[in-house]
Structure 1
């Protein structure tokens, strides 16, 4: 299967859709009777005084989530091709994104992090443009606004503001106005939110928005470790991808090296920002899938032993389907 997606053949879009369905068979078979979808944080619900919570029929919820994943996979694939992150075009980033989106059953339904992945893809387009962009101030301002919109939908998205400053350090010489204008972009969105709070006579509650940022990082999380055995091939592939990138790191263009450094930082930021939400939820880690899928695609594009990487990918697929049919 990997060799099929190594080529940039439009027919792979069809195979991608088939795989997307196959990776959801187990969950469709055991779909819960009710699935709710809320698209705004509680503090932002003044922006949508009507319906901000939808109770779709379960199968429709899963179908809509699959459509969003499919679109995002194609956007991630286009992103990597446009900026030459892999050196040559292929459909591997889309394949990896679709595969990783089926890791856990909470990934298969509509959720705020899934919606925010559109914003993260949009951010990556703009972040990579900083390398050769002439007007970095307007790009940075837009990035600040994107992070603000994302944090209205899913508050931990606020930490991706750090990715803006990291990108400025990697791609641009230091210019203090570019660092400040991102804050202005973020503040613009929350200024209008503050106006709405004022008009609703709730301005004293506005400062409570940032209270979760003071939450201490947890030292222990109660989880069922059997459900995370599927992560074993994920960790192996990720480590092999890092090793492969290091092997040819200094032979790559400067822009590509810095882009992968930025992707790794974004992976760390999205992975570690889960603690801001009071209730632990696996859906948060959907934000990690975009950089992770690009690292995976890099490994599978340049891996040498076909029997090994095809077997490793098959084990990953089999583990995903198995754990959808079996819960411990």
Structure 2
């Protein structure tokens, strides 16, 4: 299957649909009677004055989530090929994105992190354009607004603001106006939110929005031990990818090297911002799949032993399907 997606063929979109279906098939047999969809954070609930949490049936919820993932995968694939991060056009980023989006069952339903992945892809479009852009202030301002919008949907997305400054460090010489532009972009959205609070006589509660940011980082998290088994092929592929990257790192263009560094930092920011939520949910790690998909695609594109990389991907896909059919 990897060999099919190594080339850039529009017909591969049909194969993507097949992988999307297979990676969600097992969950449809165990879908709960009710699935809650939280579109915005509680502090932004006033902006959506309708009841929507259970507006979709469980099957429709999973179907809509799959459609969103498919659209995101195509957008993400276009982004990676447009900036030539892998050195050649390919459909592997889309394949890896769809595969990783089915890793855990909480990934398969509508959620705030899933919606925020649209904003993350949008941010990456703008971040990668900084390298060749002359005046980055407007781009950084837009990125600040994107982070603010994501924070309304899912508060831990606020830490993606760090990715803006990291992108400026990697792609641009220091200019304090560009650094301030991101803050202004973020503040613009929350200024209008403050006005909305004021008009609804809730301005006294506005400062409570950021209280979760003071949550102590947990010393342990509660997760089903069987989920760790699914991470074995994921970690193995990531380790092999970093070895492959190390071999070819200085052979790549400067922009490509800096882009991979940015993706690595975004992966870390997404992974370690989970603690902001009062309750731990696995769907938070949907924010990690975009950078991880690039690393996966890089490994599978340049791996040389067909029996090994095809078998490794098949192991990952079969593991995902088996864990959906078994509730343990």
State the TM-score, normalizing by the size of structure 2.
0.99
| Structure 1 stretches lacking a partner, 5+ long | none
After TM superposition, give the deviation of residue 52 of structure 1 in Å: 4.6
Distance 1:97 1:67 in 2: 13
Distance 2:323 2:79 in 1: 31
Contact kept in structure 2, 1:45 and 1:52, CA below 8 Å: no
Partner of 2:83: 83
Contact kept in structure 1, 2:34 and 2:54, CA below 8 Å: no
Contact kept in structure 2, 1:62 and 1:108, CA below 8 Å: yes
Q: What per-residue deviation string (whole Å, max 9, x for no partner) do you get for residues 170-189 of structure 1?
A: 00000001001100000000
Distance 1:50 1:222 in 2: 33
Contact kept in structure 2, 1:149 and 1:189, CA below 8 Å: yes
**Number of aligned positions between the proteins:** 328
Q: What per-residue deviation string (whole Å, max 9, x for no partner) do you get for residues 66-122 of structure 1?
A: 000000000110000000000000100000001001100000000000000000000
The CA RMSD measured in Å over matched residues stands at 0.8
After TM superposition, give the deviation of residue 200 of structure 1 in Å: 0.9
After TM superposition, give the deviation of residue 315 of structure 1 in Å: 0.6
Q: Secondary structure at the match of 2:280?
A: coil
Distance 1:40 1:14 in 2: 33
Q: What per-residue deviation string (whole Å, max 9, x for no partner) do you get for residues 134-162 of structure 1?
A: 22000000000000000000000000000
User: Is 2:63 the partner of 1:63?
Assistant: yes
Distance 1:212 1:204 in 2: 17
User: Is 2:274 the partner of 1:268?
Assistant: no
Contact kept in structure 2, 1:2 and 1:92, CA below 8 Å: yes
Partner of 2:244: 244
1:102-251 matches, cutoff 5 A: 102-251=102-251
After TM superposition, give the deviation of residue 38 of structure 1 in Å: 1.4
Partner of 2:288: 288
Distance 2:295 2:96 in 1: 9
After TM superposition, give the deviation of residue 53 of structure 1 in Å: 2.6
Segments of 4+ moved more than 4 angstroms: none
After TM superposition, give the deviation of residue 222 of structure 1 in Å: 1.9
State the TM-score, normalizing by the size of structure 1.
0.99
After TM superposition, give the deviation of residue 327 of structure 1 in Å: 2.1
After TM superposition, give the deviation of residue 36 of structure 1 in Å: 1.4
| Structure 2 stretches lacking a partner, 5+ long | none
